[in-house]
């Protein structure tokens, strides 16, 4: 009798387990979540927040589509990338045959002077008269002969200017800005530099033959080195400054709840201010230069870094701490032999990540005068030297990639 009851109980338990497994299997294989009231409320709140955000940002796909041509034009102006080389380091390398030779800057051509009626009347033999025409609504100008200039309706003409060239010279429109340049017969102009049809103008001042390439020492390397120096010093100082705050902000290490809450509030306050604002403050305090950038990175990093360090301390095993404290160790000994060894892998990982973030942040600090590569970027942007800007961006991308690989190798060794 007892055995039968036990068998029925076992069968019932097995049936319940099978039903539970079937329920779990059905839940896993269900493509969509179950339509409960809670799920519907959550979806309604999510859609409301999303709609509110879209309305606030004025997100409009039509605006983006209309802006694509402008975006494409800007990207094309970035190409091909160029590098500003240090004076005296420029060399031309020829691939066939392989040789390297010195190169000097090509003298810029003169801009043509507009001719008035008196100049045209005083033309001598050998001089030639050409007109530069820009029609109303047209983006580009064209060069036409005096005969062609007579055939245009004045209402259709935006500008029509006369230019006189000397014997052996001609008038051309510069390939870069459509300015009117005087060059020798058979030459064209790019960046006001005269060149022949099979040649090319590089870095806005060198003329290269087919198969040649310009090499040299990029000026931006000095700013890249300064950026790395700012990031190294700023990260090291922020690590040392963050550890005490992290100990006060860790729930399992902080000496009192009020100190814990106060430290957390302080870290939230300094973390809410962008590093660029700190850079502006430090520039006004210590002046222009990389030291202002270092101070900005230190203060800007403490908020986030101390929070990450505090979470690392909160993840340690309390039993190891209790064991070391049971030996009679004081607070510093407990930290050295129980807290720090457990948290060190995470501390090192977060420090390396902060260094990578600081490298990227320090590239912007130069915009406000806090040193680094940002000053070069600002200069290229202000002078509309977009191809050099692209060259700078490429070097920065290479730098960030190298640092990421090196940091990853360090993290693997530590962890």
Residue 85: pLDDT over 90: no
Q: Which domains does the chain have, with CATH numbers?
A: 95-214 (no CATH), 220-414 (1.10.3720.10)
Least reliable range by pLDDT among 51-55, 239-243, 410-414: 410-414
26-49: pLDDT as tens digits: 666 666 667 778 888 988 999 999
Least confident of 189-198, 315-324, 390-399: 315-324
Tell me the mean pLDDT in the region 120-145.
88
Using 50, 70 and 90 to split pLDDT, how confident is the model at 178? Answer: confident
First-to-last alpha carbon distance for the chain, in angstroms, is 61
pLDDT at position 22: 65
Paired tokens of 114: 């507009």
Give the rounded percent of residues in the chain with a pLDDT score beyond 90.
Answer: 22
24 or 167: which leads in pLDDT: 167
pLDDT recorded at residue 306? 92
227, pLDDT greater than 70 = yes
* Predicted pLDDT of residue 323: 86
> Average of pLDDT values for 167-179?
90
For residue 90, pLDDT over 90 is answered with no
Taking the C-alpha atoms of residue 48 and residue 44, their distance in angstroms, rounded to an integer, is 6
User: Does residue 1 surpass a pLDDT of 60?
Assistant: no
What is the per-residue pLDDT for 233? Answer: 93
pLDDT score, position 329: 82
Find the Cα–Cα–Cα–Cα dihedral 244, 249, 253, 257, rounded to 10°. 130
Q: Which range (35-39, 173-177, 235-239) has the least confidence?
A: 35-39
Confidence of residue 131 (pLDDT cuts 50, 70, 90): very high
Average pLDDT over residues 363-386: 83
3-state SS record for the chain = CHHHHHHHHHHHHHHHHHHHHHHHHHHHHCCCCCCCHHHHHHHHHHHHHHHHHHHHHCCCHHHHHHHHHHHHHHHHHHCCCCCCECCCCCEEEEECCEEEEECCCCCCCEECCECCHHHHHCCCCCCEEEEEEEECCCCCCEEECHHHHCCCCHHHEEEEEEEEECCCEEEEECCCCCCEEEEECCCEEECCEEECCCCEEECCCEEECCCEEEECCECHHHHHHHHHHHHHHHHHHHHHHHHHHHHHHCCCCCCCHHHHHHHHHHHHHHHCCCHHHHHHHHHHHHCCCHHHHHHHHHHHHHHHHHHHHHHHHHCCCHHHHHHHHHCCCCHHHHHHHHHHHHHHHHHHHHHHHHHHHHHHHHHHHHHHCCCCCHHHHHHHHHCCCHHHHHHHHHHHHHHHHHHHHHHHHHHHHHC
Return the percentage of the chain with pLDDT > 70, whole number: 91
- pLDDT surpassing 60 at residue 4: no
What is the rounded distance in angstroms from the CA atom of residue 290 to the CA atom of residue 363? 11
| 157 beta partners | 135
User: pLDDT tens digits for 266-318?
Assistant: 999 998 888 889 988 998 888 888 899 999 999 989 999 999 999 888 888 88
Q: Is a pLDDT exceeding 60 seen at residue 376?
A: yes
pLDDT score for 20: 63
**What pLDDT was estimated at residue 344?**
85
In the chain, what's the furthest Cα-to-Cα distance? Answer: 134
Per-chain mean pLDDT for the chain: 85
Task: Give me the mean pLDDT over the 234-262 stretch.
Answer: 90
């Amino acid at each position: 009798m007892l055995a039968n009851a036990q068998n029925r109980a076992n069968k019932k338990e097995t049936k319940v387990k099978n039903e539970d497994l079937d329920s779990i299997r059905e839940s896993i294989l269900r493509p969509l979540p179950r339509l409960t009231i809670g799920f519907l409320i959550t979806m309604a709140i999510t859609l409301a927040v999303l709609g509110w955000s879209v309305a606030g940002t004025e997100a409009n796909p039509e605006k983006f589509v209309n802006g694509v041509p402008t975006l494409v034009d800007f990207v094309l102006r970035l190409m091909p990338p160029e590098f500003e080389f240090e004076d005296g380091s420029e060399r031309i390398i020829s691939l066939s045959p392989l040789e390297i030779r010195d190169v000097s800057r090509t003298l810029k051509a003169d801009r043509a002077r507009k001719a008035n009626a008196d100049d045209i009347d005083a033309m001598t033999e050998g001089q030639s008269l050409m007109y530069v025409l820009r029609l109303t609504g047209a983006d580009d100008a064209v060069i036409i002969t005096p005969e062609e200039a007579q055939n245009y309706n004045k209402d259709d003409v935006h500008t029509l200017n006369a230019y006189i060239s000397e014997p052996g010279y001609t008038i051309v429109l510069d390939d870069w800005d459509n300015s009117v340049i005087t060059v020798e017969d058979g030459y064209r102009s790019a960046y006001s530099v005269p060149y022949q049809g099979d040649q090319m103008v590089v870095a806005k001042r060198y003329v290269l033959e087919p198969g040649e390439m310009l090499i040299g020492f990029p000026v931006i390397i000095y700013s890249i080195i300064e950026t790395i120096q700012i990031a190294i010093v700023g990260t090291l100082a922020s690590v040392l400054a963050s550890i005490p705050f992290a100990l006060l902000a860790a729930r399992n290490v902080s000496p009192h709840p009020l100190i814990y809450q106060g430290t957390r509030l302080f870290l939230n306050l300094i973390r809410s201010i962008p590093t660029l604002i700190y850079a502006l403050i430090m520039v006004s305090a210590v002046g222009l230069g990389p030291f202002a950038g270092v101070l900005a990175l230190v203060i800007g990093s403490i908020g986030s870094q101390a929070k990450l360090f505090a979470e690392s301390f909160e993840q340690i095993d309390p039993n190891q701490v209790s064991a070391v404290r049971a030996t009679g160790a004081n607070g510093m000994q407990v930290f050295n032999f129980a807290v720090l060894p457990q948290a060190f892998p995470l501390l090192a990982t977060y420090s390396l990540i902060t260094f990578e973030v600081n490298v990227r942040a320090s590239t912007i600090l130069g915009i406000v005068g806090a040193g680094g590569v940002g000053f070069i970027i600002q200069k290229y942007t202000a002078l509309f030297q977009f191809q050099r800007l692209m060259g700078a961006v490429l070097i920065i991308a290479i730098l960030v990639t190298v640092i990421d690989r090196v940091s990853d190798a360090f993290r693997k060794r530590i962890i």
